Amino acid sequence: MIKKEVRALLPAWSACALAIIASRWQVRPVGGLTVPAYVIGTAGLGAWAVGHEYAHGTLTSLLTLPVPRGRSWATKLAVLAPMLAGLSALGMLLFVRSNGDQEFGVALFILPALAALFVAPWLTMETRSPLAGAVFTIGALGGSLAAGEWIGELRYGFTGQVDAFRLAFLWWAMGGLATLGAVMGWRRFASLETLDGHSTDVQLPTSRTRAVTRTRVTRRHPLIRLIAKELRLQQLSIVVAAVWALAYTISEASGARATYQSDFFSSNLPSVLTVFYTLVLPIVIGSLPCAEERQLGTLDAQLLLPGRSSTQWVVKSATAFSLTVILALVLPLALARILGDAGWLFVPGTGNRLPAELVVSVLAITSISLYVSTIARSGMWALIWSVGAVIASGVVVSELLNLGIGRKVFAAVHAARAPHPHLQFMALRDVYVLVPLCGFAVLAVALALPHYRYAARRPALIAGHAVIAVAYVMACNVVVNVLWALEY
């Protein structure tokens, strides 16, 4: 039994460890994912301790073994605990912490591991989805931080005592939640039945129950039905967005505006929550369309529908990008304007306009996660590998840009060009940043089509696609430097 658990968790642990090692490079715009990578990795590992039974359909076999359930549960925790301890030690050794992160000390590493050990398995069994268990565990950490900030300001105002209270509250809140998770996790595992082995996604409440049989078939356009199905797959993302919107509104209404200092931004608590939400939600949205459907066992039936597989994949991708724009960009922008928050989301002096770098980051993260979703076997794996792929992409692109190819092209064109004073490319900077990004999104969707259509997860093919993506980025960098050289 121990060998089975190690075999199930070791790949996920290796992915988390690689993400932590890769986060050593503080590369923008993925430098802000260093702490989220650790939190997501530990929460994902904790959820996968029970979630792999749901994903592989082995929970029924586990529950029917002629051994006490207490022994099975203790075995899972005994294998999970040293793995989480190893990730915590690795994080303490390798993380380059910002000023804001240093305020939390060892709590930055201990509390996520504690939540992953006890809270994530419990929530996974309650939601019957490893991805939902990981996401809600992350939400519990963020909610405890926000609650500590809010209560601290109500008690002490905007003083230095708030930081000490916030840290103490975080320890007590997560300690109590971990204790609750330990008790409820054991009770939930002891009461699991055979029907709980079937994995389902998070279901939003409906206003009325659907009849089992219908007397009339409603005719709708196939594309509308496909979009409706994709939206049902994304219910977890919608729930996460609703929870964040509620927490953000409460934080703003209560005046939780204590300054948070980081290497990349300086802002208040609602903006910090928005940073985490805006960077993590695109990964969740991109991880669901293909991987979650493969885990649910409906992907083969989807491909057998009387429609072109390319059309189905375009509908999946378009729905994911639309949800990303609406939930990760438009929703924070609308709430910030309504509540009067001029935080990090806006470019100063532009009338509350979103910076192009933020839009580029969000859409690029969604593109990478969509590609990973076509090669992952479950939504949980897609989430873990997407975080690693996003960080690795940022590191690779940054190292290539540091080679100075674009600067050399700029110098050569600038020396050989004829003067063109009427050229004003810099005035369209956001345009020629977003246009290549749209091309990258289209390229990622096109490259992922063979994986979706044929389940072609060959390493050589994936490596070739990575080379094509890198070549595209370098070509766009050369074109941008040519335009700059022509203007100057």
C-alpha distances (whole Å) from 388 to each of 36, 41, 116, 143, 368 are 11, 9, 19, 25, 10
In the 8-state DSSP scheme, what is residue 268?
A: E
Q: How many Cβ atoms sit within 10 Å of the Cβ of residue 248?
A: 24
The pTM (predicted TM-score) of the whole model is 0.74
In the 8-state DSSP scheme, what is residue 353?
A: B
Q: Environment class of residue 64 by beta-carbon count within 10 Å: exposed (0-12), middle (13-18) or buried (19+)?
A: exposed
Alpha helices (H) along 95-129: 99-102, 107-127
Tens digit of pLDDT at every position of the chain (488 positions): 788 888 888 888 887 787 777 666 554 544 555 676 788 888 888 988 888 888 777 888 888 888 888 888 899 999 999 999 988 888 777 765 554 455 666 788 888 999 999 999 999 888 888 888 888 888 888 778 777 777 777 777 666 677 778 788 888 888 899 999 999 989 888 888 765 444 455 555 554 445 445 556 567 777 888 888 888 888 888 888 888 888 777 777 766 554 444 443 444 566 667 777 887 889 889 988 888 888 877 888 888 878 788 888 898 999 999 999 999 888 888 887 777 665 555 544 445 566 767 787 788 889 999 999 998 888 888 888 887 788 778 777 777 777 777 777 777 776 776 555 555 544 455 566 677 778 888 888 899 888 888 876 788 888 888 889 888 888 888 887 777 776 66
As a whole number of Å, the CA-based R_g of the chain is 24
Cβ–Cβ under 8 Å, residues 84 and 119: no
Q: Look-up: residue for tokens 């529908």?
A: 305
> Of 426, 417, 429, nearest to 486 (Cα)?
417
Q: Environment class of residue 114 by beta-carbon count within 10 Å: exposed (0-12), middle (13-18) or buried (19+)?
A: buried
**DSSP of 461-478, one letter per residue?**
HHHHHHHHHHHHHHHHHH
Q: What three-state secondary structure class fits 352? A: coil
Q: Environment class of residue 151 by beta-carbon count within 10 Å: exposed (0-12), middle (13-18) or buried (19+)?
A: middle
Q: What is the dihedral of CA 371, 372, 374, 377, to 10 degrees?
A: 180
Q: So what's the pLDDT on residue 477? A: 80
Tell me the residue type at 135: V
Cβ–Cβ under 8 Å, residues 382 and 44: no
Cα separation, 29 vs 484, in Å, equals 22
Strand partners, 347: 353
Q: So what's the pLDDT on residue 339? A: 74
Cα separation, 125 vs 235, in Å, equals 18
Q: Work out the angle at residue 290's Cα, subtended by the Cα atoms of residues 289 and 295, and round it to the nearest 5 degrees.
A: 110
* Cα–chain center distance at 10: 21
Q: Environment class of residue 459 by beta-carbon count within 10 Å: exposed (0-12), middle (13-18) or buried (19+)?
A: exposed
Q: How many Cβ atoms sit within 10 Å of the Cβ of residue 124?
A: 29
Q: So what's the pLDDT on residue 220? A: 73
| Peptide bond before residue 222 is cis, with ω within 30 degrees of 0 | no
Q: How many Cβ atoms sit within 10 Å of the Cβ of residue 127?
A: 23
